[in-house]
Structure 1
Amino acid sequence: MNIKLAVLASAVALAACGKKEEAAPAAETAAPATSAAAPAPAEAMVIKIGHVGPTSGAIAHLGKDNENGARMAIEELNGAGLTIEGKPVQFELLAEDDAADPKQGTAAAQKLVDAKVAGVIGHLNSGTTIPASQIYNDAGIPQISPSATNPTYTRQGYTGVFRVVADDVHLGGTLGKYAVEQLGGKAVAVIDDRTAYGQGVADEFEKGVKAAGGNIVGREFTNDKATDFNAILTTLKAQKPDVVFFGGMDAVAGPMLKQMKQLGIEAKFMGGDGICTSKLPELAGDGMSDEQVYCAEAGGVEGEQKVGMDKFRADFKAKFGEEVQVYAPYVYDAVKVMADAMVKAQSSDPVKYLPALKATEYEGVTGKIAFDEKGDIKNGALTLMTYKGGARTQIAVIR
């Protein structure tokens, strides 16, 4: 059954009847799973889908954004009247917190395996996604990451790993070229947070700068929990950079921008999807000026497709009272893609629905989703962004 038609039919039927978190400290062990499912109808087939993201710690706002995207998808699926082998289907979301910590991430992965989930959406960070992928692979459970961009994830030879966003080779390389050719970056400095994501995207950015004829005048590193960057910024200031690139997340980028301003560094500031959030202006405060920050989301829609994305964002805000940060639409689509494969295969058994998942051709709110032989999205797009008046402003979609 086509999931979108089923959702529409359900909505029409209802209309005819006239019916109308501040982040907590990172836990040392995985938080208990939380589920999202209405009571299953009698005789219903219950299918468990896992979701993992950092819902505690410095980037809890991103993890909750992801989890909410999954909850929206699960609720819609459960209202769609789907059946498998003639039985009504009830999807149940098992949500785990990995606090962006690899050790906690693998513990969460094992917990979902033990709970016998049929598939997993997550993790958010490359640093947790990659080690967790081995656990899911060993258990034969398909995994779709909505946001992990390190190329290693899909290059391990695992048959059940997928991602619905472009990887760092495309993202970092594109930003490197843009820094030189569009921002006039003759002297470019690079900082990364030493995570799998941050270092990976910074490496690809550096390659992109060099390929475009730019000059890297300094490469420094910090960590994903740092708050003091004066030493490395002072070192880079002496090199008089036109552009400073940071490979990492918004929770670190915000304070870094403040300290750049305090030190009188007037360079453009760039980063990947990890900094390209709705919350960055709040985190940066007065350290961020209009059209100073340039970043890219690992995805993008244009034209008629933008109507669907705009509706998703409006529905999301109406439901949760929050703007979409970055990845919620990709999580939403990933859940729908996995469920669609199960319905097409008429089975939630990973062995039986995995071939349908590999052959996916799905029109989502984030665009067309189809996977190559490694599990990477085909023709992955990027959306270049800047910030004006404290809000993200789209520059262009690049494929």
Structure 2
Amino acid sequence: MSLASLASAQEVVKIGHVAAVTGPVAYFGKDTENGARLAIDALNARAVVIAGKKVRFELAAEDDAGEPHQATTVAQKLVDARVNGVVGHQTSGTTIPASNIYFTAGIPQISHSSTSPKYTRQGFNTTFRVVANDTQLGRALARYAVKAMAARRVAVIDDRTAYGQGLAAEFAKELQQQGGSVAAREFTNDKATDFNAILTKIKGTQPDLVFYGGMNAVAGPMLRQMKQLGMQTRMMGGDGICSDEIDKLSGGAMADGQVVCAEAGGVDSSGKAALDDFRAAYRKRFGIDVQINAPYAYDAVMVLADAMVRAGSTAPAKYLPAVAKTHYKGVTGPIAFDQYGDIRDGTLTLYTFKGGHRSMLAVTR
């Protein structure tokens, strides 16, 4: 059989991936796109057979630039292209509006990084995620702030996005339950560059800690302006500020140990070897290190493929029930979903930074 006829005999399975690969958080989007691409390569190397037929996986990668309107546009584009499943989107503000389009089309969607609880609480049977949500993340950060950092009075800032606002709200709620208090409550936006007004107000309240709900693109410059104002206050945030990029964006203003962050996910000692192998394979394939969520994008693709094999079908309507019944051992740990599509017993990893590089503090649940 010729190569051409062999290719035509194989069914092509299209997996969509959507993230911001342009704009201020493009490095996050490219990271997860690379993770998904690595999974596609691995599946094709295995020569996966579904219902007795060899299949070839393809990645349909799209850019939503982190913009909700563009997210719905590319979601419809993927539906029209008849993708078999979708991995993404990257932020809660893009994932939530896009999820309605995939639900209407009956296409399974697994987010590798969106953490807003709202995403999986819309009554859609197509929405899943392989990371812990903001409720879990915000509460874990607040407990750590009070118990490990002895922070009692915390200034809370968010960028008014679905992600930043939700994370900050959950943090503030748990902070107060742990006996802490919100010393100041301020807001910015995800495109802002000048924070002097809100930082001056915050400085006057003399907080033990500044909590920021948002992304590195804002947190980095904010740290620089904190230093200019003589604020040596520590900063805490979620996965949006949890990569080495924050040091570059701060212009080197970030002091060792000044920033504590958490990302949804993480493995204990038993899973370290598999994750280390993934990181090595990623570096070999792309020539750069993993930022944050690439392993989760990899696992999301693998979960979709695993469900197709178990269901004996690549048709979304037929393999969707199998996604909900997933029990998969991924590079990020065991993956199973609750009744909403949230990961069961999701782990969280706490980090600080030393010499501009991330340093792990603890893995918790």
Q: Distance in 2 between matches of 1:339 and 1:235?
A: 51
Alignment match of 2:223 (pick from 230, 235, 257): 257
1:233-267, Cα deviation, whole Å (9 max, x unpaired):
01100001110000001111110100001001111
Alignment match of 2:160 (pick from 194, 209, 216): 194
Alignment match of 2:70 (pick from 86, 99, 104): 104
- Give the AA of the match of 1:42: S
Q: How far did 1:188 drift?
A: 0.5
Query: Are 2:259 and 1:280 equivalent residues in the alignment?
Result: no
Runs of 4+ more than 2 Å apart = 38-42
Q: How far did 1:196 drift?
A: 0.2
Distance 1:225 1:348, change over 3 A: same
- Give the AA of the match of 2:18: V
Alignment match of 2:28 (pick from 45, 57, 62): 62
Q: How far did 1:376 drift?
A: 0.2
Alignment match of 1:90 (pick from 40, 51, 56): 56
With 39-48 and 140-149 compared, the bigger mean Cα shift is at: 39-48
Q: How far did 1:311 drift?
A: 1.2
Q: Distance in 2 between matches of 1:173 and 1:322?
A: 32
Q: Distance in 1 between matches of 2:50 and 2:179?
A: 56
Q: Distance in 2 between matches of 1:85 and 1:174?
A: 43
Distance 1:40 1:240, change over 3 A: farther
Q: Distance in 2 between matches of 1:316 and 1:92?
A: 18
Aligned-residue CA RMSD in angstroms? 1.2
The one of the two structures with greater contact order (alpha-carbon pairs below 8 A, sep at least 6) is 2
- The secondary structure found in structure 1 opposite 2:275 is helix
Q: Distance in 2 between matches of 1:278 and 1:138?
A: 38
Q: Is the 8 A contact 1:190 1:245 kept in 2?
A: yes
Query: Are 2:43 and 1:77 equivalent residues in the alignment?
Result: yes
- In the comparison of the two structures, how many residue pairs are matched? 362
Q: Distance in 2 between matches of 1:208 and 1:161?
A: 26
Q: Is the 8 A contact 2:51 2:309 kept in 1?
A: no
Query: Are 2:213 and 1:247 equivalent residues in the alignment?
Result: yes
- Give the AA of the match of 1:95: A
Query: Are 2:104 and 1:171 equivalent residues in the alignment?
Result: no
Q: How far did 1:356 drift?
A: 1.1
Distance 1:314 1:385, change over 3 A: same
With 109-118 and 177-186 compared, the bigger mean Cα shift is at: 177-186
Q: Distance in 1 between matches of 2:293 and 2:71?
A: 18
Query: Are 2:330 and 1:364 equivalent residues in the alignment?
Result: yes
Q: Is the 8 A contact 1:40 1:90 kept in 2?
A: no
1:367-394, Cα deviation, whole Å (9 max, x unpaired):
0000001000000000010111111111
- Give the AA of the match of 2:347: A
Alignment match of 1:127 (pick from 76, 84, 93): 93
Written as runs of structure 1 = structure 2, the 5 A alignment for 1:1-399 is 41-399=7-365
Q: Distance in 1 between matches of 2:8 and 2:139?
A: 53
Per the alignment, residue 11 of structure 1 pairs with none
* Structure 2 length-normalised TM: 0.97
Q: Distance in 2 between matches of 1:51 and 1:234?
A: 41
1:75-120, Cα deviation, whole Å (9 max, x unpaired):
1101101112222100111010000000000001000000001110
- The secondary structure found in structure 2 opposite 1:251 is helix
Q: Is the 8 A contact 1:278 1:326 kept in 2?
A: no
Distance 1:338 1:230, change over 3 A: same
Q: Distance in 1 between matches of 2:50 and 2:151?
A: 56
Which 5+ residue runs of structure 2 have no aligned equivalent? none
Q: Distance in 1 between matches of 2:152 and 2:179?
A: 8
Q: Distance in 2 between matches of 1:244 and 1:140?
A: 42
